[in-house]
Chains A and B, each alone.
Chain A
Amino acid sequence: MSVKAFGQLTLVAAVSTFIVMEALSPPREPTVDAITTGSISATNPPPRARQDPIVVSQAMPEELPVETQLSAPAAAARRSTDSVDESALRYFARQGDTRRLDAEIARLKAIYPNWQPPSDPLAPEDYSDPELDRMWALFSDGRYADVRAAIADRRAKEPDWVAPDALVQLLDQADARIRLTNASDAKQWNAVVEIAAGTPSLLTCDYVDALWRVAEAFASTARIDRAEDVYTYILTNCENPNERVATVQKAVALLPQAEADKLFSFERGNEFQAARDDRIRQRVGKIAETEEGAADAADLTRLEALATTGSEAADPQVLGWYYYRREKPSIALEWFDKARARDPESAKSAEGYTLTLNDLERYAEAETIGYDWIESSEDNLAAYLGSVVGLLSIDPPVKVSESVLDRIVAVVVKARNPEAGEQLGWYAYNLNQTRTAERWFATVLKWAPDYEPAAFGLATTLLALKDKAGANEIIRAWSDRSERIANILKPVKADLRGPRYVVDAPTYDREGEVVAAPVRRSTAPAPVKSTASARCGGSGPVNTLSPAAALPRGWCLMDLNRPVEAAAAFEIALRSSDAGTRSDAAYGASLANLRSGVTDKAAVAAAAAPQTEKQRTELTVSILTQQALAMYGEGRYNETILALDARNQYAQEQNDLLVLRGFAYLNLRRYADAKRIFQAAAGTGSPDAIRGLAEVQAAQNGLR
């Protein structure tokens, strides 16, 4: 390399190619250490490895022969040193401005490699120019605009006067530095590189900030190797410890991992520990963003140590995500917990915490915590809806308090979230609130007309409501898109809610009449009784409990799908003097009895304590419907009629129940009544009613 710079980066501009060259470092420039005596001594620098030349180019051409790389500035480098303008140097020496004097010597040596600094910069000069001295004074004060104005004024007065090269160059350098900073702040990366290329004297250890900005400009315009060159230059040549650390940190932030890691080889002592930790944070953080791969064990150990001893939330949060995405929710929860303790305002930590609780199937806690953050971000809302889906799909259904249900409903409706809406449908369905379930599924289909699970839910619910016409409509609309909807009338097991929950589909005869009522069962093994009792607060007999203690026991047993025992617990709770407990207990007893199929007891329980009007009506209608069906199934046709009559006081009798009533009359040989009912129902096109009419006819004709 023919251009040598001493401890300095020289940027050589060719036509469209900028070449940054850094030659053998030592010997370094002499430093002035005793300005007052005017003596200059050279310090011995530590030996350094030879650096390959740094080639910086706009267009990234292959390396050109050296001779063609060199253009005007290189010619300047070969220029005679006779014309070196030392006026700046002498001015700074007189002022005792060591820093500027050093910088000026470095600058001149970069331009004139053969130039030697004067042995006595304080020697009297052979001219006197007070106006120029004033310009230098303004320059020293950093009043660049004033210097420029003074030069312009003087040139207006003395057209032949020219400002000294050194002053002009230093002004240009000062302006270029400002301009480079502004261009970099405005992310005008090509302008940054262009300004740097035009002002090579700016690219020295004196202006590391300018070097950083040039490196960032390269990194931001896909010239990673050029950026790496600049960082390498700084770490090889510049001494300021803070700037060295900052250099590595910036490189870590901007360069790809491999290139950034290379720079750590320039470490002196342990100076880059903090940067190395940042690197670890970055590495683990990147892995933690996805489920792919695993972090280096040493990285994890170090980050866990940092996360434990530090006071920031960021490290534990990264670890939370890392373990959450590696299906280690218990560990993840601890880290998110720590992150939340350190920064309770972090929505991201709250999101991670909620998601992790979901993974741990601690849905009720997740719902409670997640609810506070639903407004924070889409992600927080999604995590909360995940908790809702989980909470509502617990099998058997857990009791959700009315206030929680209310807020869930409000959020789900506002978010128009199909999955959560669907779960509200199944939750209602599984509590035999079939009408409510039907409304949910229908609503979800309005939000998301292509959401098959809602269509399946609606079809299932309509069949349960014996609304065959409605169900057939769904089947027609979906049969080509959904096999399970197409086959819903076939006597096969249908998977209602994914792999965890299995409901035996109702079995229908060829006319579509239910011949066997659906029985829900869980795929989970039924808990062993003693375990169940233990989990619900002891194995002691239920009847020794106080009413207050019996209520949670009842709900707990419901959770374990032991409705008979739950009903017993609720009956004890019904004795409570507290109206709220009684109401709750009555509701629980009704559900328990419904679930165990003891429908008449459910009716009793429903009447036993005050419930909300809505609750009571829905429950009563549901109980009477079940009763009517159960009575008919047992051949108790009179009771069927009575149940249906009772039900009529709360809700209109739809076609399917009318038909049931018709068949009850038929079986009681009350042909006139049966005929009247079937005729009414047949008027709406019910095939069952038409079949019923035919049967009445046949019976009357003695053919049956």
Chain B
Amino acid sequence: MIGSTLRRLLMTVALATGLSGPATAGLTLQGTVSSSDWIAYSDRFVQEDGRVVDDANGGISHSESQGYGLLLAFSAGDRAAFERIWTFTLNELLIRDDGLASWKWDAAAKPHIVDVNNASDGDVLIAYALGLAAEAWGESRYRDAAMSLAVSIGKNLLTDANERVVLRPGAEGFRRSEQDGSLVVNPSYWIFEAFPVLQKLAPDHPWEALASSGAELIGAARFGPANLPADWVAISPAGLAPAPNFPPVYGYNAIRIPLYLLRAGATPGPLLEPFEKAAQTIGPAIIELPSGRALEKLSDPGYRMLDAALACASGTPIPKDLLRFEPTLYYPSTLYLLAMSYVKERQPQCL
């Protein structure tokens, strides 16, 4: 259904942008994270109580870390860990009146929720992972929770911008600008692989249109000499621009975009081209868009793995030193496992 729509969409974008090659169907995921990698990851970042710790940010947790934890536990086929992570997520974060997850949890604060607001990518990840687990493991509890979260996302976070369906970054704030009607979005919150699952969970909401707008957004939000999207983009009737009040960078948010595109089935072509080019010419980096220069080189294997996955899509084997996973910090380690999961499922020849 939506899998084919997304495929068609990516094809359309591909045609429009000169992308060649067919996109493929949705991911199976289960088993694409090896148990040894998962044990190494969860020993480091997942606590007994199911809290996934972002150790580079003062040991806080957030809806995104819980969502990634669920997705990786599912990919590793670890039902017990999934259950732990889910229990923490439900009890500690899914306490909002609107059914979305509060995004920021700090062990040092009392109460632990330090910002009740949500972050939409966290909600999407959680609903997506729950939906996958419900389907694979036949757990009705997961299905019920996934459905109500998906409906809540559809109801509270989808809105229109320039006649397209977009994902608001949060339920509070991020209002349309009163001056120029612009709306700030985060292109890296479009986790394309999740939308077919959300479509099944909450069929009354326009997930296909959301996927379509996301691909168009990423194809069009190309700023500066590097032609890359900004972490935060303002959509206004006049067009797209790096969002005011945010640094105009291709940063820690946006670096996930090519990974999400790959995992959703994108193949080399104009949509991926600027990311490939940046990988080849600059390497993993936070890139300042106006100048197109690297503000900060990223040496962690997790970030290098993102570039390696892109190169692999064009046939380049994964470098030997990246084949073995060693957890470093939460975020790059997570990106590593997600990228490796993609390579294992779609590009095993690169290994």
Contact with A along B79-116 (1 / 0, CB 8 A): 11111100110111011110100100000000111001
In the assembled complex, A297 has its CB within 8 A of some CB on chain B: no
In the assembled complex, B48 has its CB within 8 A of some CB on chain A: yes
Give the residue of B79, B84, B94, B97 whose beta carbon is less than 8 angstroms from that of A156: B79
Give the residue of A148, A149, A182, A188 whose beta carbon is less than 8 angstroms from that of B92: A182
In the assembled complex, A152 has its CB within 8 A of some CB on chain B: yes
Residues of A within 8 A of B92 (CB): 178, 182
Give the residue of A152, A186, A187 whose beta carbon is less than 8 angstroms from that of B80: A152
Give the residue of A146, A149, A159, A183 whose beta carbon is less than 8 angstroms from that of B95: A183
Q: Is the CB of B87 within 8 A of A146?
A: no
Give the residue of B80, B90, B102 whose beta carbon is less than 8 angstroms from that of A149: B80
A483–B84 alpha-carbon span in the complex (Å): 80
Return B35 CB to nearest CB of chain A, in Å: 13
Residues of A within 8 A of B88 (CB): 145
Q: Is the CB of B97 within 8 A of A190?
A: yes
Return A116 CB to nearest CB of chain B, in Å: 31
Contact with B along A179-204 (1 / 0, CB 8 A): 10011011111110000000000000
Q: Is the CB of A151 within 8 A of B83?
A: yes
Q: Is the CB of A148 within 8 A of B90?
A: no
A175–B97 alpha-carbon span in the complex (Å): 17
Q: Is the CB of B91 within 8 A of A175?
A: yes
In the assembled complex, B49 has its CB within 8 A of some CB on chain A: yes
- Which parts of B63-87 form the interface with A (CB within 8 Å)? 79-84, 87
In the assembled complex, B50 has its CB within 8 A of some CB on chain A: yes
* Interchain Cβ contacts within 8 Å, total number: 66
Query: Given A150-B80, A182-B111, A186-B113, A191–B87 Cβ distance below 8 Å?
Result: no
Contact with B along A136-158 (1 / 0, CB 8 A): 00000000111011111101100
Give the residue of A150, A178, A185, A189 whose beta carbon is less than 8 angstroms from that of B97: A189
Give the residue of B84, B97, B99, B111 whose beta carbon is less than 8 angstroms from that of A148: B84
- Which parts of A107-149 form the interface with B (CB within 8 Å)? 144-146, 148-149
A179–B91 alpha-carbon span in the complex (Å): 5
Return B78 CB to nearest CB of chain A, in Å: 9
Return A142 CB to nearest CB of chain B, in Å: 11
Q: Is the CB of B90 within 8 A of A145?
A: no
Residues of A within 8 A of B79 (CB): 152-153, 155-156
A145–B46 alpha-carbon span in the complex (Å): 12
Looking at chain B, what size class is its interface with the partner chain?
20 to 34
Q: Is the CB of A185 within 8 A of B91?
A: no
Return A582 CB to nearest CB of chain B, in Å: 66
Q: Is the CB of B113 within 8 A of A153?
A: no
A178–B93 alpha-carbon span in the complex (Å): 11
Q: Is the CB of A182 within 8 A of B91?
A: yes
For B83, B102, B116, B137, which residue has the most chain A Cβ atoms within 10 angstroms?
B83
Residues of B within 8 A of A151 (CB): 83
Q: Is the CB of A186 within 8 A of B91?
A: no
Q: Is the CB of B91 within 8 A of A149?
A: no
Give the residue of B80, B87, B91 whose beta carbon is less than 8 angstroms from that of A153: B80
Return A210 CB to nearest CB of chain B, in Å: 14
Residues of B within 8 A of A185 (CB): 111, 113
Return A189 CB to nearest CB of chain B, in Å: 7
Looking at chain A, what size class is its interface with the partner chain?
20 to 34
Q: Nearest B residue to A181 by beta-carbon distance?
A: B111
- Which parts of B21-54 form the interface with A (CB within 8 Å)? 48-50
Query: Given A144-B87, A182-B113, A149–B97 Cβ distance below 8 Å?
Result: no
Q: Is the CB of A179 within 8 A of B90?
A: yes
A617–B50 alpha-carbon span in the complex (Å): 82
Residues of B within 8 A of A190 (CB): 97
- Which parts of B279-311 form the interface with A (CB within 8 Å)? none
Residues of A within 8 A of B84 (CB): 145, 148-149
Return A152 CB to nearest CB of chain B, in Å: 4
A88–B48 alpha-carbon span in the complex (Å): 24
Give the residue of A145, A156, A175, A186 whose beta carbon is less than 8 angstroms from that of B102: A186
Q: Nearest A residue to B102 by beta-carbon distance?
A: A186
Give the residue of B50, B95, B112 whose beta carbon is less than 8 angstroms from that of A191: B95
Residues of A within 8 A of B96 (CB): 183, 186, 188, 191
Residues of A within 8 A of B138 (CB): 159
Return B340 CB to nearest CB of chain A, in Å: 23
Q: Is the CB of B97 within 8 A of A188?
A: yes
Residues of B within 8 A of A148 (CB): 83-84, 87
Q: Is the CB of B48 within 8 A of A146?
A: yes
- Which parts of B157-209 form the interface with A (CB within 8 Å)? none
Residues of A within 8 A of B83 (CB): 145, 148-149, 151-152
Residues of B within 8 A of A179 (CB): 90-91, 94-95
Contact with A along B120-153 (1 / 0, CB 8 A): 0000000000000000011000000000000000
Return A606 CB to nearest CB of chain B, in Å: 65
Query: Given A146-B48, A149-B80, A152-B82, A175–B95 Cβ distance below 8 Å?
Result: no
Q: Nearest A residue to B115 by beta-carbon distance?
A: A186
Return A106 CB to nearest CB of chain B, in Å: 23
Contact with A along B219-255 (1 / 0, CB 8 A): 0000000000000000000000000000000000000
A148–B87 alpha-carbon span in the complex (Å): 8
A395–B163 alpha-carbon span in the complex (Å): 74
Return A175 CB to nearest CB of chain B, in Å: 5
Residues of B within 8 A of A182 (CB): 91-92, 95, 111-113
Q: Is the CB of A188 within 8 A of B116?
A: yes
A156–B80 alpha-carbon span in the complex (Å): 9
Return B103 CB to nearest CB of chain A, in Å: 12
For B50, B84, B87, B94, which residue has the most chain A Cβ atoms within 10 angstroms?
B87
Q: Nearest B residue to A190 by beta-carbon distance?
A: B97
Residues of B within 8 A of A189 (CB): 97
Q: Nearest B residue to A159 by beta-carbon distance?
A: B138
Residues of B within 8 A of A183 (CB): 95-96
A50–B131 alpha-carbon span in the complex (Å): 48
Q: Nearest B residue to A185 by beta-carbon distance?
A: B111
Return A580 CB to nearest CB of chain B, in Å: 60
A151–B116 alpha-carbon span in the complex (Å): 31
Query: Given A146-B48, A153-B79, A186–B116 Cβ distance below 8 Å?
Result: yes
Residues of A within 8 A of B81 (CB): 149
Query: Given A182-B92, A183-B95, A189-B97, A175–B111 Cβ distance below 8 Å?
Result: no
A153–B83 alpha-carbon span in the complex (Å): 9
Residues of B within 8 A of A144 (CB): 87
* 24 residue pairs from A and B, CB less than 8 Å apart: A144-B87, A145-B49, A145-B50, A145-B83, A145-B88, A146-B48, A149-B81, A152-B79, A155-B137, A156-B79, A179-B91, A182-B91, A182-B95, A182-B113, A185-B111, A186-B95, A186-B96, A186-B102, A186-B113, A187-B116, A188-B96, A188-B97, A188-B116, A191-B96
**What residues make up the interface of B, taking CB atoms closer than 8 Å to A?**
48-50, 79-84, 87-88, 90-92, 94-97, 99, 102, 111-113, 116, 137-138
List 10 additional A-B contacts (Cβ < 8 Å) besides A186-B102, A186-B113: A145-B84, A151-B83, A152-B82, A175-B90, A182-B91, A182-B111, A186-B111, A186-B116, A188-B116, A189-B97
Question: Can you list the 9 inter-chain pairs with the closest CB atoms, starting with the nearest?
Answer: A185-B111, A149-B80, A183-B95, A152-B83, A190-B97, A152-B79, A153-B80, A156-B79, A178-B91
